[in-house]
């Protein structure tokens, strides 16, 4: 499988496609991650709050693949924003790794106003070699600008909800202007966008599945994606998107599906800990 990679603003490279493991029960995670790795996946996106870091780490350890060939992301949960060094140490212990490739602040949780302190801790964790790159997730423009104006390191990525019915064009443009790569979470809209008639029409013409068309739209936008699947068949289907192209008309038709529809929480009001 020929997965393209993107160079981040710190010079590190990230595979543009991978596997997300949100809502993957811990007892199933090792099996699915192992299957994905055996079938060419080299990028796993987990988080402390997903409760499956140990199983992700076990699959990596047993894969026989060299550590530096697998890109591993985990995330600092909201309740640990004043405690990032200990939180990352716990994640590394569970993953069985001495560093991750990318560590993200999971949500800004603006009511608590701790994300700037957390960012300064992440800068130190990067200096200490415990994570190669650092970034944020669910940050809006004002959160990004505040971080950038008050610290040394510009986030390497901003991981945000993006799918055809939530195109996020302004925020993706803002990320790009700031030198920040965009990762698209829930790239399939957790299935919500799979039945759309425009996507079905393009899929029919190209003899591809709706999921493949949506994932290809993300890739051609330059976004980084890691669809979650617990099915071997769909894990293979989702990765099989690097031998066809959408036309400019296809891209515009999918862009036009933007309806501002979230499947997850709004970062402005999400303050769960
Ligand atoms: N930073 C954040 O706040 C945040 C929030 C949410 C998610 N994420 C990350 O983004 C990753 C992906 O997002 P997500 O898991 O929410 O949603 P998603 O990847 O958009 O959708 C996953 C759902 O789609 C189904 N699916 C996958 N491939 C399919 C296919 N080819 N055809 C039909 N159905 C398919 C899966 O079912 P099966 O498993 O049965 O295939 C599952 O129900 C997460 O795993 C996580 O790593 C981050």
Range of the domain at 205: 5-255
Q: Tell me whether residue 260 is in a domain.
A: no
Q: Tell me whether residue 25 is in a domain.
A: yes
Q: Tell me whether residue 269 is in a domain.
A: no
pLDDT at 1: 74
Q: Tell me whether residue 263 is in a domain.
A: no
Q: Tell me whether residue 270 is in a domain.
A: no
CA of 196 to the centre of ligand 1 (A): 17
CA of 151 to the centre of ligand 1 (A): 33
Q: Which atom of ligand 1 is nearest to the CA of 209?
A: 31
The tens place of each residue's pLDDT in the chain, 273 residues long, gives: 789 999 999 999 999 999 999 999 999 999 999 999 999 999 999 999 999 999 999 999 999 999 999 999 999 999 999 999 999 999 999 999 999 999 999 999 999 999 999 999 999 999 999 999 999 999 999 999 999 999 999 999 999 999 999 999 999 999 999 999 999 999 999 998 999 999 999 999 999 999 999 999 999 999 999 999 999 999 999 999 999 999 999 999 999 999 999 999 999 999 999
Q: Does the reported pTM lie above 0.75?
A: yes
CA of 129 to the centre of ligand 1 (A): 30
Using one digit for the tens of pLDDT, what is the confidence trace for 139-155? 999 999 999 999 999 99
Active site residues: 50
Nearest alpha-carbon partner for 135 in 82, 222, 75: 75
Q: Tell me whether residue 268 is in a domain.
A: no
- Spatial neighbors of 183 by CB under 8 A, at least 6 apart, are 45, 135, 137, 157, 158, 159, 160, 223, 224, 225, 226
Find out whether 73 and 45 touch, Cβ atoms under 8 Å. yes
CATH of the domain at 132: 3.20.20.100
Please count the structural domains in the chain.
1
Mutate-to-test residue for ligand 1 from 186, 224, 262, highest number of ligand atoms within 8 A of CB: 186
Q: Which atom of ligand 1 is nearest to the CA of 190?
A: 21
Mutate-to-test residue for ligand 1 from 228, 231, 233, 267, highest number of ligand atoms within 8 A of CB: 228
Q: Pairing between strand 100-105 and 19-20?
A: unpaired
The ligand 1 site (C-beta within 6 Å) comprises 20-23, 45, 106, 137-138, 159, 185-191, 194, 211, 226-231, 234, 237-238, 264
Q: Tell me whether residue 118 is in a domain.
A: yes
CA of 225 to the centre of ligand 1 (A): 10
Q: Bin 239: left if φ > 0, else alpha if -120 < ψ < 50, else beta.
A: alpha
pLDDT at 228: 98
Count of positions (residues) in the chain: 273
Q: Whose CA is nearest to atom 39 of ligand 1?
A: 229
Q: Tell me whether residue 44 is in a domain.
A: yes
CA of 150 to the centre of ligand 1 (A): 34
Give the separation between CA 13 and CA 62, rounded to whole angstroms: 24
In terms of DSSP H, where are the helices of 39-140? Answer: 53-63, 84-95, 115-127
pLDDT at 146: 98
């Amino acid at each position: 499988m020929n997965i393209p990679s993107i160079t981040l603003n710190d010079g590190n490279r990230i595979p543009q496609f991978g596997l997300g493991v949100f809502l993957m029960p811990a007892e199933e995670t090792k099996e699915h991650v192992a299957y994905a790795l055996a079938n060419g996946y080299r990028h796993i996106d987990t988080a402390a709050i997903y409760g499956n870091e140990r199983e992700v780490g076990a699959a990596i350890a047993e894969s026989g693949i060299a550590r530096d060939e697998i890109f591993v992301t985990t995330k600092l949960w909201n309740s640990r924003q004043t405690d990032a060094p200990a939180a990352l140490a716990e994640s590394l212990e569970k993953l069985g790794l001495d560093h991750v490739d990318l560590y993200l602040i999971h949500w800004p949780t603006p009511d608590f106003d701790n994300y700037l302190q957390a960012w300064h801790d992440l800068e130190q964790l990067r200096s200490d070699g415990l994570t190669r790159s650092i970034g944020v997730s669910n940050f809006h423009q004002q959160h990004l600008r505040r971080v950038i104006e008050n610290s040394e390191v510009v986030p390497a990525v901003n991981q945000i909800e993006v799918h055809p019915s939530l195109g996020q064009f302004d925020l993706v443009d803002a990320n790009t202007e700031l030198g920040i790569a965009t990762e698209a979470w829930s790239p399939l809209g957790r299935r919500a966008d799979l039945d759309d008639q425009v996507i079905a029409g393009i899929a029919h013409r190209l003899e591809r599945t709706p999921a493949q068309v949506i994932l290809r739209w993300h890739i051609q936008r330059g976004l980084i994606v890691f669809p979650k699947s617990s099915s071997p068949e769909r894990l293979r289907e989702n990765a099989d998107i690097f031998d066809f192209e959408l036309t400019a008309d296809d891209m515009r038709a999918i862009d036009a599906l933007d309806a501002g529809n979230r499947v997850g929480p709004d970062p402005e009001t999400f303050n769960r800990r």
